[in-house]
Structure 1
């Protein structure tokens, strides 16, 4: 049995959009504190049983408060002040708060079980590839992954979907890409999600009871998007059939406990609604594929949201034109932007430029997808502009689609190591430095190289050293015995092998001494130990100034 340790309890009881009455908020905080301070592990069932028992007893002993609704009770121990202090909205608890706890607990338990059973500790997520097999092979090679031997594959690779489709003039190779990814998945080195392009490919191939394809083959935009794949795979060939069957076997989401992955949007309630349509591996049950393409079915809406991103309706009577010129009454939203206040804040794409709509404040009823994920989520899908310095979309959402479909743009990956190695929150796993791509600029490398160049320029401005060897030996001795940022010198037990540990710095320091500028010498020592040697010591500034003073006195 997979148990949820008290470390994870704050995830289950992370904040809600609102709590109704003050007694509900007090109950929420009390439950969180009780489980967290127990320092024990629980199954989801045990958590729910304890909560149900506690709340049932509280309600049984509660009083009926005057002036409140028939669904409200007064619980003295939940009275922490305020006008509705101690008043518990039982209907709100039963309809929203308790179901939220159940969804979070069961999803957390499910993810921790999957992580444990598959011995997952390190992950490497890769964004939308769109048949760019060369970019994938180059990225894996640069990250030390040997496809022939599969050595150095200490990270489990997670493909975020959209493996296929590109424009017909591209030199992309669907077969090489698909065979590479499938081999990695089959060999247990990778996992692969279903993207909206794979979903559309399934609709292009499958037929309904009337013999009609679920995705209209006569629609020009559908063919344009999918034609390159069809040309390389052979439309309606046996090979086409095989790849469609593989696409149909891909999971719609992955849950690792401490982090989750889905192609476009993670929403707890929608994921919970989706479960009944899925196999244990989170792929869609074969009997539900017709429902997935039926606009009148719940599953259609769920897939539209989770694989393509949620949309909300604009205020009555308002429309805008998208990038293709189509008039729209709904807009796709940046569901990770929980601080948004206006339609412009929440919009993705063309609506942001429509000031007549963008500046309208959002009705709270349209904020269903604004609550931030309680656990980090990795997504693709959103075709972000390429940048030398990718950043997370929010504190808990990372997008890895930087338009690698285009030849000049990089395929972006993201490392996540020791995924359970966090203290206060899994959000600690989100770090700007975890992105990885070909020709990536490293801030640390840029700084170190820049510091090195600056120090070289500083030294080159001083006269060439023309002193004697005795002077250099004295400089070397002071650097070793008094500066020694690495800490190799031990007066009582010194190893002669370290005598020349700082040899490369001796002549530059000697030149700076002869230049007679103690400030530059101090700066040289400090910058060298901090950025070139990479040591950070307490009172480093004081020590470097003291050593510089000693050196100037030679």
Structure 2
């Protein structure tokens, strides 16, 4: 079995990509979890084009596989219109700011931007080789079944994009869940304040914490967990926790804080922006902390 090094969100950081690739097994494969573009505030020298060229070269050489991230989907929609001149993703100041480094490199709706986003459409929403799984934000069996009924290869087509942008159909909602993860509405009478002090009634859920279904243990990005109800998340919230009997799955997306940690033996979130890491998988069914390498 070929060893695989899983690399999470790069976000136009060429230095992070270089360090991540330096940690790979030279005789093995590389697997990318998406979000190659759109530099965050911590990236002093955004390099969207360099990162994309290096990743694409590895994929086309058969040295790597990759799945789509939500930033790739956002870019696909940002640079395309509905045929009436309206962008499929709003080009409002908030979205434009998030997408700035890509637009600085390629422009808006240009041939170069469309060419790269066309390549993004060749990235599947998930990969499952039987021994391990890759998805950007959430492995949801039900969502994968919905998408697979139309797109067995897990790849979006041009004719799906208007529907996906509207986020109303079951297909569009399934795509969104795979790329952004689940949120659940808190029970009546409960809310919490996020890091910016904004009052929230929905919480992001760490669906990979199969044994931690209490709100206070399963919710992500809650500054004060005591604001949450001290009770189990019920099936009414529609959260699909990952079974402990499933194959190992790797995700990025969530901007975790603290020391990178294997929280569940068959599922790992690798996106730690302040402490970048990769996972060197060697065929194990139970993930181990020692294979989680800081870069």
Partner of 2:124: 251
1:222 aligns with 2:95: yes
How many Å apart are 1:288 and its aligned residue?
Answer: 1.2
SS, match of residue 149 in structure 2: helix
How many Å apart are 1:360 and its aligned residue?
Answer: 4.0
State whether residues 163 and 177 of structure 1, in contact with CA within 8 Å, keep that contact through their aligned partners in structure 2: yes
1:415 aligns with 2:287: no
Within a 5 Å distance, the mapping from 1:32-71 to structure 2 comes to: none
1:138 aligns with 2:19: yes
How many Å apart are 1:400 and its aligned residue?
Answer: 1.2
State whether residues 335 and 369 of structure 1, in contact with CA within 8 Å, keep that contact through their aligned partners in structure 2: yes
Partner of 1:188: 62
State whether residues 277 and 288 of structure 1, in contact with CA within 8 Å, keep that contact through their aligned partners in structure 2: no
What is the CA deviation profile of residues 173-192 of structure 1, one whole-angstrom value per residue up to 9, with x for unaligned ones? 11111100000011111111
Partner of 2:293: 436
Partner of 1:100: none
Partner of 2:202: 330
State whether residues 167 and 224 of structure 1, in contact with CA within 8 Å, keep that contact through their aligned partners in structure 2: no
1:370 aligns with 2:246: no
**Hey, what's the Cα distance between the residues in 2 that align with 1:254 and 1:202?**
20
Larger helix share, 1 or 2: 1
Select the residue among 291, 296, 299 that pairs with 2:163.
Answer: 291
How many Å apart are 1:338 and its aligned residue?
Answer: 2.1
**Hey, what's the Cα distance between the residues in 2 that align with 1:249 and 1:136?**
21
The gaps in structure 1 that reach 5 residues or longer are 1-119, 145-151, 404-408, 439-554
What is the CA deviation profile of residues 456-507 of structure 1, one whole-angstrom value per residue up to 9, with x for unaligned ones? xxxxxxxxxxxxxxxxxxxxxxxxxxxxxxxxxxxxxxxxxxxxxxxxxxxx
**Hey, what's the Cα distance between the residues in 2 that align with 1:320 and 1:385?**
19
How many Å apart are 1:383 and its aligned residue?
Answer: 0.9
Within a 5 Å distance, the mapping from 1:150-161 to structure 2 comes to: 152=26, 154-161=27-34
**Hey, what's the Cα distance between the residues in 2 that align with 1:156 and 1:255?**
15
Partner of 1:353: 224
How many Å apart are 1:303 and its aligned residue?
Answer: 2.0
The gaps in structure 2 that reach 5 residues or longer are none
State whether residues 250 and 267 of structure 2, in contact with CA within 8 Å, keep that contact through their aligned partners in structure 1: yes
SS, match of residue 240 in structure 1: helix
Within a 5 Å distance, the mapping from 1:259-298 to structure 2 comes to: 259-278=132-151, 280=153, 282-298=154-170
How many Å apart are 1:301 and its aligned residue?
Answer: 1.4
**Hey, what's the Cα distance between the residues in 1 that align with 2:258 and 2:61?**
32
How many Å apart are 1:367 and its aligned residue?
Answer: 5.9
Partner of 2:72: 198
1:397 aligns with 2:267: yes
Within a 5 Å distance, the mapping from 1:473-488 to structure 2 comes to: none
Pair 1:354–1:121, CA change in 2 (3 A): closer
Select the residue among 304, 325, 331 that pairs with 2:176.
Answer: 304
How many Å apart are 1:376 and its aligned residue?
Answer: 0.9
Larger Rg: 1
SS, match of residue 358 in structure 1: coil
**Hey, what's the Cα distance between the residues in 1 that align with 2:135 and 2:189?**
33
**Hey, what's the Cα distance between the residues in 2 that align with 1:184 and 1:380?**
19
How many Å apart are 1:256 and its aligned residue?
Answer: 1.2
| Higher RCO (Cα < 8 Å, 6 or more apart) | 2
Q: When the two structures are superposed, what TM-score results if normalisation uses the length of structure 1?
A: 0.50
What is the CA deviation profile of residues 194-214 of structure 1, one whole-angstrom value per residue up to 9, with x for unaligned ones? 001111111211111432112
State whether residues 129 and 411 of structure 1, in contact with CA within 8 Å, keep that contact through their aligned partners in structure 2: no
State whether residues 14 and 50 of structure 2, in contact with CA within 8 Å, keep that contact through their aligned partners in structure 1: yes
What is the CA deviation profile of residues 384-440 of structure 1, one whole-angstrom value per residue up to 9, with x for unaligned ones? 1253xx32121211111111xxxxx453211112x2xx6xxx2x3x111112233xx
Select the residue among 77, 84, 107 that pairs with 1:210.
Answer: 84
Partner of 1:242: 115
Partner of 1:128: 9
How many Å apart are 1:279 and its aligned residue?
Answer: 5.1
State whether residues 160 and 263 of structure 1, in contact with CA within 8 Å, keep that contact through their aligned partners in structure 2: yes
SS, match of residue 270 in structure 1: helix
**Hey, what's the Cα distance between the residues in 2 that align with 1:246 and 1:126?**
19
Q: CA RMSD in A?
A: 2.2
Within a 5 Å distance, the mapping from 1:480-499 to structure 2 comes to: none
Pair 1:396–1:260, CA change in 2 (3 A): same
What is the CA deviation profile of residues 4-58 of structure 1, one whole-angstrom value per residue up to 9, with x for unaligned ones? xxxxxxxxxxxxxxxxxxxxxxxxxxxxxxxxxxxxxxxxxxxxxxxxxxxxxxx
